[in-house]
Amino acid sequence: MGLALNNILGRVCTHNKDFSKEDIAITWINYKSENNVVFKGFGSGFNNKKLFYPASVVKLVYALAAYNWIEKGSLLLSDEIIDAVQKMLSFSSNNATSFLIDLLTGTTSGPCIEGELWENWKYQRNIINDWLHDLHWEELIGLNCCQKTWDDGPFGREKEFYGIDNKNRNAMTTDSAARVLEEIMIHIDYQKSDLNLRSFLKRNLNKVSLQNDSLNQIDGFLGAGLPESINLWSKAGLMSEVRHDAAWWTNSQSQQTLLVVFCNGEKYSKDTSFLPLIAKEVYEFNKRYPIEN
């Protein structure tokens, strides 16, 4: 798969002379499945341990944190929390994300503060990072997931918390995004009363439906390169400097695919062809070379 990934990346990059492999990271994993049981996957990566600003892909982490907080009793499941998590994942709502981070960390946005109040605030806001560290997943080494996501950027204490030259911005690798998405997709036994994160990531590839939803997280992302009949779950990230996507889809009853692609740079942010081309190439490869029994 490593050779296949390198060949795919080489072909797709020829579509635009400005594309550079150094600005791209990919984690690609195929899974054998049988009778609704998904077995351990195998795959390959490119720059998959390189840290990128994740944009809204970080919302996968915050959703998993909310699930964990509820499971251990630190948060009580409510209709409001369900609504917020759904809006954060399904519609990428920054307002819902802000609300959930406040609940998860016991912090709030506002004007700058000083002294012990400021030190306590920073300690509390890093609670999600502490939880990630305590999971002891090797894919999460070096992550920073402690910032809210914004439409216009942070102000007050949030801006100060970003640090000099934004050095405290969120940072993830494609491997870390893949590990979190894998956890959401196959390692949680959802009950009817649970916060069903997986259901909030399900996407509709119907072209008519997509035309009526300008924020569909499909057009210009991985889902746009897949057949309309595919079952797809995904979370995209887009801002002026990046275009990312983390996706899981079913190729057949016996094979499923996890693909995470991060693209760093304004040229990718504005481009709507690169991610669909990558997904199409990966899908076609899996169709030609299915997992053997």
> How many C-beta neighbours within 10 Å does residue 186 have?
19
Q: Look at residue 215 in the predicted model and tell me its pLDDT.
A: 82
Q: Look at residue 292 in the predicted model and tell me its pLDDT.
A: 67
Dist. CA 37–CA 176, nearest whole Å:
23
Q: Look at residue 1 in the predicted model and tell me its pLDDT.
A: 84
Mean pLDDT of 7-23: 86
Q: Look at residue 200 in the predicted model and tell me its pLDDT.
A: 97
Q: Look at residue 115 in the predicted model and tell me its pLDDT.
A: 97
CB 263 within 8 A of CB 274: yes
pLDDT in tens, 232-263: 999 999 999 999 999 999 987 788 999 999 99
Under DSSP, the state recorded for 206 is -
pLDDT at 175 over 90: yes
Q: What angle do CA 271, 276, 279 make, to 5 degrees?
A: 140
Q: Look at residue 105 in the predicted model and tell me its pLDDT.
A: 98
Instruction: Name which residue leads in pLDDT, 182 or 37.
Output: 182
Q: Look at residue 37 in the predicted model and tell me its pLDDT.
A: 77
Amino acid at 183: E
pLDDT in tens, 128-137: 999 999 999 9
Q: Look at residue 35 in the predicted model and tell me its pLDDT.
A: 72
pLDDT in tens, 184-221: 999 998 987 779 999 999 999 988 888 888 788 999 99
CB 53 within 8 A of CB 262: no
Q: Look at residue 155 in the predicted model and tell me its pLDDT.
A: 96
CA distances from residue 84 to 192, 206, 289 in whole angstroms, order as listed: 18, 25, 40
Q: What angle do CA 209, 24, 96 make, to 5 degrees?
A: 45
Burial readout 222-255 (b: 16 or more C-beta within 10 A, e: otherwise): bbbbbeeebebbbbbbbeeebbbbbbbbbbeeeb
Mean pLDDT of 34-41: 79
Confidence of residue 293 (pLDDT cuts 50, 70, 90): low
pLDDT in tens, 89-109: 999 999 999 999 999 999 999
CB 248 within 8 A of CB 261: no
Predicted TM-score of the model (pTM): 0.96
Mean pLDDT of 172-182: 98
